[in-house]
Amino acid sequence: MANNVRPAEMKRISTPELAEAFIQEQVAEVRAQVGDKKVLLALSGGVDSSVVAALLIRAIGKQLVCVHVNHGLMRKGESEQVLAVFRDQLDANLIYVDVADRFLDLLAGVDEPERKRKIIGGEFIKVFEEEARKLEGITFLAQGTIYPDILESDGVKAHHNVGGLPEDLNFELVEPVRLLFKDEVRVVGRALGLPESMVERQPFPGPGLGVRCLGAITRDRLAALRESDAILREEFGRAGLSKQVWQFFTVVPDFRSTGVRDGKRAFDWPVIIRAVNTVDAMTATVPEVDWTVLKTITNRILAEVPGVCRVLYDLTPKPVGTIEWE
């Protein structure tokens, strides 16, 4: 039974030296736990699963089998980065599953937010299970559980839980960062050589862009969402806001508005910019982003993203508005 209580004397991992000591300790622990057996990991590319992957690659190399499921709701460039870092740089044993069409077909016409979440979460488990069944000799399942997940069992992650793997896939768990807080996971990730863009990634909901493409997801609006989100990230980065603002993204609603383009009437989608600061995601405030930065983003979205004729900045704090729109 794994120890799930952080010892009072455990130092906060805040320096590369402390991270290195933690890594060495975990490498030894994982090797002792796993022996010559194989470990499976769902690698989303988020901070937690990426750090666990890098740590396990250091400990057991190719005995780790990573599965990256691209459900078509990833942000621009994310799946590509997972492949570039883990397959190309770290030489991981990585299975890449492109199921974007399968997810988008399943989601066609579904407009109820919780139903969308259920479909995305449920199908994700199904795909992962299918991949797990194709593999032979897997004994362990690695997970990027972190300490707040254990402490706040009804916290942010828990209410998105859609169930787990079936009983006959009864793997023993490997959870090397389960006693760490998020900032410590990032320090460990850096010490393991992961790129800054991966280590500093802001929280991204499991259902991904699916809950930001409001109502029934369509491919055209999803494309507009992905492109506008990429522009927002690029411009916030350029303005030095990436580390100052806790979470930021765009949202594309399922209604259109009138515009004028090239002297002709347009009837296109709006893009909403959502940016928040928060400590625990239970309440949030909206940062006063420099007007010129917002104007640059607006102009770029209008010029570069097809099908968009209006850009808005969401001023709503939480409460009353939640951070995500759905």
Q: Does the footprint of ligand XMP cover residue 160 (CB under 6 A)? A: yes
Are 61 and 68 in contact by the 8 Å Cβ rule? The answer is: no
At position 233, the amino acid (one-letter code) is: R
Q: Which helix (H) or strand (E) holds 71?
A: none
Our finding on whether 318 is near ligand XMP (CB under 6 A) is: yes
322 binds ligand XMP (CB under 6 A): yes
User: Residue 141 or 323: which CB sits closer to ligand XMP?
Assistant: 323
Beta strands in the chain (DSSP E): 38-42, 64-70, 93-98, 138-142, 172-174, 247-251, 257-261, 264-276, 308-313
Q: Is 285 in the site for ligand XMP (CB under 6 A)?
A: no
Binding characters for ligand XMP, 231-250, by CB under 6 A (x = yes) = ----------------x---
Structure tokens at 193: 């050589």
Q: Is position 208 an interface residue for ligand XMP (rule: CB under 6 A)?
A: no
Nearer to ligand XMP, 172 or 183 (CB): 183
Q: 């559980």: which residue's tokens?
A: 145
The yes or no reply on residue 207 touching ligand XMP (CB under 6 A) is yes
Smallest distance from ligand XMP to CB 296, Å: 25
Tell whether residue 206 is a contact of ligand XMP (CB under 6 A).
yes
Cβ proximity to ligand XMP, 30 vs 271, nearer residue: 271
Q: Closest Cα to residue 73, out of 199, 203, 212?
A: 212
Q: CB-based contacts of 276: which residues, under 8 Å, 6+ apart?
A: 245, 246, 247, 248, 284, 285, 286, 287, 318, 323
| Position 323 contacts ligand XMP (CB under 6 A) | yes
Asked whether position 314 contacts ligand XMP by CB under 6 A, the answer is no
Q: How far is the CB of 82 from ligand XMP (least distance, A)?
A: 17
- Cis status, amide bond into 319, omega within 30 of 0: yes
To ligand XMP, the closest distance from the beta carbon of 206 in angstroms equals: 4
